[in-house]
Structure 1
């Protein structure tokens, strides 16, 4: 049994509040690195949620192609700047905030009045500049979600005066991983997985990997607890009319054949062991560039790996 362990090698804050962390998972069996790395990467990038500004209402403005008197930026530039504000949340409820300032001044994210459950990570983030004594008043809508949502999503009637934003909820910006082979004194091979995570600062890389692992655990627990599905599958397996050989759907990549034999089979549209068993030994040798040596290799591999003997 594996003694799998995870260790944080590096954790630091870089520009604009972005957090970076590097982790290593040790003592993995050969092949487990790519499985765990892919699963964690997909969940980190796609399933973790966050809070972002989804819409704004600006006093005196009815559409995004307007301008505010005395403000250097037009509405589109302001909306783009607002998308860069990073928020920490303690609740998943929709909330509202507001900003009211009189110029001349530079408007930054720290001037936004927030509810108690929200916090701005990058408080010095630039929004706009007022060059006159005009007053700028903005109301913000904060929503929790996952992934990315386009601004063309239909709003309710109460939101008709709001300008919508393309909303990025994802707290994890980037994930990389690589796998290294490790040899012990007896020349046994194990793998270690190096995982690099960048977040927007609303959560730390440590928190991100903990949340991702919990999501994966919860997913598989649902599968284990789904007794009705399990019982149905057991009944289906007992039905002789539905019996399926266990090896028919195995991809031929799992046989680890030589390049020559593998390429010949793929060119003949033989993608699984089930496809391969449709061919007799004589028909196999009739494949283009598939000689006696390749046939012997296939027969031997089927026998040694799967216990299949072709007559």
Structure 2
């Protein structure tokens, strides 16, 4: 049996970026492990994102706001690129209250406790006159994967639902190289390139993906994962059916029904001699009835 015996090393390659190396692995385990980790990293980690926005004086996303250089749609597109780190499962409201001529950045957002912005230099919009102002409430939440705006709709007038990409991982890719153990080169090395949005470090994202993979793999090997099919008892099946279920010739079925043998439960009370007394039911036909009844768990003797 192959036992895991490898090491994991990390190397920072940029802002919120790292290379994670896993070696040595048995040959062909590189793609098995690397692809599983990559898919989990890209699809199954929780992160934070804006889910809706309400701007004073703006009825819908195709509106404009006096004194705002961008239209509301541009503001929404910029807002979608703001990375929120949220340490609670509660839905939170982030406020934006700015007036006067100003370039508005993500750092101008007033975040409640438990919510931080990891890219504060992101430009959201521009106010173009001293009398211009913008007042907005942005709803943020934790989630997983991509959620379309239709799932964030609200009955409140003026609330604009947003498409949300919750994944904290921007990119994840891997390569497989041969590595040496002693004289043998029949081992794999995984080089995993990982970039996050700053709400989680690459190493923490890797550890969380590894934990999820371990949990699901362990569950597959647990008793709880397997359903034991309980087959109904033959007697239960028999009493609930009809003689039509026996797949007998029409002539034989008609003979049984004329003798008021309609249900399978009627057959259970018969003996072989009783069956021979049924009018128009010869010995060969009686043998067919006995054989088909036995398939349903009914013994006629």
Alignment match, 2:153: 155
Structure 1 residue 31 displacement after superposition: 0.8
The normalised TM-score by structure 1 is 0.69
Distance 2:157 2:222 in 1: 44
- 1:144 pairs, out of 142, 145, 156, with 142
Question: 2:201 is matched with which residue?
Answer: 204
Find the aligned partners of 1:109 and 1:228 in 2 and give their Cα distance: 46
Give the corresponding residue for 1:65.
Answer: 62
SS of alignment partner, residue 95 of structure 2: strand
Which of 67, 77, 80 does residue 77 from structure 2 map onto? Answer: 80
Find the residue that maps to 1:152 and give its secondary structure: helix
TM-score by length of 2: 0.71
Moved over 6 A (4+): none
Alignment of 1:98-247 (within 5 A): 98-132=95-129, 133-153=131-151, 155-157=153-155, 159-227=156-224, 229=226, 232=228
Which string of whole-angstrom CA distances, capped at 9 and with x for unpartnered residues, describes residues 62-117 of structure 1? 01111000110001111111111111111121111111111111111111111110
Q: How many residue pairs get matched?
A: 228
**Quick check: 1:44–1:208 contact (8 Å CA) kept in 2?**
yes
1:263-310 alpha-carbon deviations (Å, 9 max, x no partner)? xxxxxxxxxxxxxxxxxxxxxxxxxxxxxxxxxxxxxxxxxxxxxxxx
Secondary structure in structure 2 of the residue aligned to 1:153: helix
Contact 1:98 1:112 (C-alpha < 8 Å) held by counterparts: yes
Give the superposed CA RMSD: 1.9
Structure 1 gaps, min length 5? 14-18, 237-311
- In structure 2, relative to structure 1, the CA distance for the partners of 1:124 and 1:156 (3 Å cut) is same
Can you give the 5+ residue segments of structure 2 that lack an aligned partner in the other structure?
232-301
SS of the residue aligned with 2:210? helix
Contact 1:2 1:27 in 2 (8 A): no
Tell me how far 1:35 sits from its aligned partner: 0.2
CA contact (8 A) 1:151 1:166 kept: yes
Shift of residue 228 of structure 1? 6.5
Which of 23, 37, 41 lines up with 2:38 in the alignment? 41
What SS does the corresponding residue of 1:203 show, helix, strand or coil? Answer: coil
* Contact 1:49–1:147 (Cα < 8 Å) also in 2: yes
Q: 1:113 to 1:164 in 2, by over 3 A?
A: same
Alpha-carbon offset, residue 176 of structure 1: 1.1
